[in-house]
Structure 1
Amino acid sequence: MKKNKKNLINTTRNSLKLFYGSLENYFSVRGVLKRQLEEFNDDNATYKQIIKFNNIMLKFYKRKELIIEDIENLKDVVFETQDGKKLKGLFYIPNRDSNKWLIACHWFSGHKYWALYHAKVFAKMGYNIFVFDFRGHGESQEATSTLGLTESFDLLAAIKFVNEKYSVDEIALMGTSVGAFIVNFASIKYNQFFLENNVKLIVSDSAFTNIETVLAFFTKKLIWVVPKTKRKELVNKFVESQNKMLKSEGYENLDFYEMNIMKLITKQKDLKLIPTLFIHSKDDKQTPTSDTYDLAIARKKFDSEIRDEILNFNHAMHTQAIKTHFKIYNNKIADFIVEEAKHNKSKELENIIKLYNKLISEWKLDDLNVEDKRDKKSLSLY
């Protein structure tokens, strides 16, 4: 296997993977959880990860609602991208009679299990879920990371793969951080492909809109003593170096400067925007919340009738709004699904509303109880 050249993105990715992995391992399979696994009489690595993440949901997120107990509904798969990268995916099929699918995309240095658990609300709303590791992440083939440029091929391959394996009536997409950028970027750049494959709605959590903005935002926090003009020069040098790397790996037609959703909207012909729920926090330290507002405004300017919505919190750590504002976060996603079903006059509308009411009742999403420390914190930071 060809070894990837060292660069800042790969080095950062690998360092963060080690850091986050060590934190995750604190919740590894042991004790009661190990005995739980032995009940399945299986040493399957996926089962171990699921039980570990069940523990994370219980001990760190403190939300038993997010645990996955029906491990028998999980299926490991491998699929391939158009540029020959082998990716590891995971089907979660709790709704066997449903032809609705949610494809969830994880953040930079994350992996498919985070995407799966953050998307649990979709399973409660009647969807089956497909998650996968982007190239260079998790169990997928090692590759150079590009913060979304080549990873868009991974999302296209995932959409194609789900359609090949199952009967699909509609697809929803959910992305977090870099995963959100990829979903937003690809849904415009490859718009016709998305429409042909029945992508009906998108949930975008903590997105950015272009590589230059997010790098400038990030470098401002790291090297604030450097003048603004100098920071811009550093960002441009970095982008140029990444473009050289792309060319050296055979991606002659890709350009880091193309990673700009705002410009892409104005350039695309016959563009049909897909309704999107944007979620962000004003104090996000990794991606600028202004990017989410700017994108929503640009989309509305392009199509005044687009059914986008924004859920913006005052306070929540990057990618962690689901933890801090569990009830508000999930209620909004479920409500967005219902509203889109109503607009599209879905033949399943009655059942979707039943699922929504059941979810609200089971997860108590409409009951923010000040006596509950978690709800009290959410209200104070909302």
Structure 2
Amino acid sequence: MSEYSNIAHKMIEMWNSSFSKTIRHREEAASLKINFVKSINSLNSTNRNSNKKLHIKEYKKPTANFTTFSRDGIKLVSSVWLNPKPSKKWVIGVHGFNSSRFDVLYLTWHYRTLGYNIITFDFRNHGSSATDVVTWGYKEKWDLMTIISWVTQNYKPEEIGLVGTSMGGFTINYFALTEEKFIEENNIKWAISDSAYMSVSKLLKGMVANNAPKIFENYVNVVLEDMLKIYKNEYLVDLVELDFINLIEAKHKYIPIMYIHNRFDRVTNFLDSFKMQDIKNNIEESNVNELIIYDSGMNHTKSIIKFTDDYIIRTSDFVKKHQI
């Protein structure tokens, strides 16, 4: 008999299934899946194909697709969209949980007007990449670093910017606070963090509370404690350490980050972005980290759809301040 509750195991199993059943696996495009969560969400017009909403016709036609391997041997699948004008500037798009490299393209595309090439990739256990446990940023940081190294080795970029949303946004923050030497070596100059959370354990507590039957309402903390033990003992991943407040250190100058959130986001709390920007500026004794909080709408990671012109202008202005 397991020493952990069945609910804890079931929750982890559910999240690692990505709520999807793969119908056809392919690397040249998104794998075909039945996804019940996205099917329900697509009933809301704001959640329908974001690339189409922003008139990105090229999202199905990347310049190239390629595979590489993360540090633990997990296969990663990526796509590249080269800028029509030859450039040594790159943006890496980092998608969220239960998403893919094609789904994040809409958040990166407008940087092409500033001369950037675009690359996006599927995290482990997402899209067409290999199956593994989702670790909410821990191993996903390895995947991000693998793609950065690939770009550096193959294109010798003068500059790289990072754009991440939700889990991708947290992964960027985790990476930015823990890999200063790697960041300098790879010419990473700025980042955009859209709808990110600041603590994995607090995120999971909310997810357990939202998904567990009401009769287990008082059982949430026990389930969460078991889940964290399962991750640590069975997957060798300590999720407790993944907390922005514990990761950031005094007397450090990290890359500038713009934090973006919708006040009524129903998945992650807008106060997380507010706190991360405030803490980071105070630690660095600067005002280079910026914040956008949109006060209407409630769609997670979709502020650019509802506030397109403002979003593009303000993020582009931020990038202009920090690009080479």
Provide the TM-score with structure 1 as the length reference. Answer: 0.71
Q: What residue number does 1:262 align with?
A: 245
* SS, match of residue 235 in structure 2: helix
1:242-280 deviation digits (Å, cap 9, x = unpaired): 111223xxxxxx4111111210113x8x63211111110
User: Would the alpha carbon gap of residues 48 and 9 (structure 1) be closer, same or farther in structure 2, given more than 3 Å must change?
Assistant: closer
Question: Is 2:17 the counterpart of 1:14?
Answer: yes
Give the share of equivalent positions with the same residue, in percent: 24
Q: What residue number does 2:123 align with?
A: 134
Q: Matched residues in 1 for 2:132 and 2:95: separation?
A: 16
Letter in 2 for 1:90: S
* SS, match of residue 65 in structure 1: coil
* SS, match of residue 17 in structure 2: helix
* SS, match of residue 164 in structure 2: strand
Letter in 2 for 1:125: L
Question: Which runs of no fewer than 5 residues in structure 2 stay unpaired?
Answer: 1-8, 33-44
User: Would the alpha carbon gap of residues 16 and 119 (structure 1) be closer, same or farther in structure 2, given more than 3 Å must change?
Assistant: farther
Letter in 2 for 1:65: H
**Which of 1 and 2 has higher RCO (CA within 8 Å, sep 6+)?**
2
Q: Matched residues in 1 for 2:88 and 2:68: separation?
A: 20
Deviation of 1:226 after TM superposition, in Å, equals: 7.3
* SS, match of residue 112 in structure 1: coil
Question: Is 2:298 the counterpart of 1:324?
Answer: no
Question: Is 2:174 the counterpart of 1:185?
Answer: yes
Q: Matched residues in 2 for 1:60 and 1:198: separation?
A: 32
Q: What residue number does 2:164 align with?
A: 175
* SS, match of residue 248 in structure 2: helix
Correspondences of 1:228-247 after superposition (within 5 Å): 230-247=219-236
Deviation of 1:143 after TM superposition, in Å, equals: 1.1
Is the Cα–Cα contact under 8 Å of residues 10 and 145 in structure 1 kept in the other structure? no
Q: Matched residues in 2 for 1:70 and 1:143: separation?
A: 26
Deviation of 1:64 after TM superposition, in Å, equals: 5.0
Correspondences of 1:194-343 after superposition (within 5 Å): 194-222=183-211, 230-247=219-236, 254-266=237-249, 271-314=252-295, 315-341=297-323
Q: What residue number does 1:46 align with?
A: 29
- Normalized per residue, which structure has more helix? 1
Count of aligned positions: 300
- Normalized per residue, which structure has more strand? 2
* SS, match of residue 198 in structure 2: coil
Letter in 1 for 2:259: F
User: Would the alpha carbon gap of residues 48 and 225 (structure 1) be closer, same or farther in structure 2, given more than 3 Å must change?
Assistant: closer
Is the Cα–Cα contact under 8 Å of residues 135 and 151 in structure 1 kept in the other structure? yes
* SS, match of residue 277 in structure 1: strand
Q: What residue number does 1:66 align with?
A: 56
Correspondences of 1:99-178 after superposition (within 5 Å): 99-178=88-167
Is the Cα–Cα contact under 8 Å of residues 214 and 288 in structure 1 kept in the other structure? no
* SS, match of residue 19 in structure 2: helix
Q: Which moved more, 1:191-200 or 1:212-221?
A: 212-221
Question: Which runs of no fewer than 5 residues in structure 1 stay unpaired?
Answer: 1-5, 26-42, 50-55, 248-253, 347-382
Any runs of at least 4 consecutive aligned residues in structure 1 with deviations exceeding 6 A, and if so which?
Answer: 226-229
Deviation of 1:76 after TM superposition, in Å, equals: 0.8
Is the Cα–Cα contact under 8 Å of residues 16 and 133 in structure 2 kept in the other structure? no
Q: Matched residues in 2 for 1:177 and 1:287: separation?
A: 8
Q: What residue number does 2:41 align with?
A: none
Deviation of 1:128 after TM superposition, in Å, equals: 0.2
Q: Matched residues in 1 for 2:278 and 2:238: separation?
A: 25
Provide the TM-score with structure 2 as the length reference. Answer: 0.83
* SS, match of residue 193 in structure 2: strand
Correspondences of 1:367-382 after superposition (within 5 Å): none
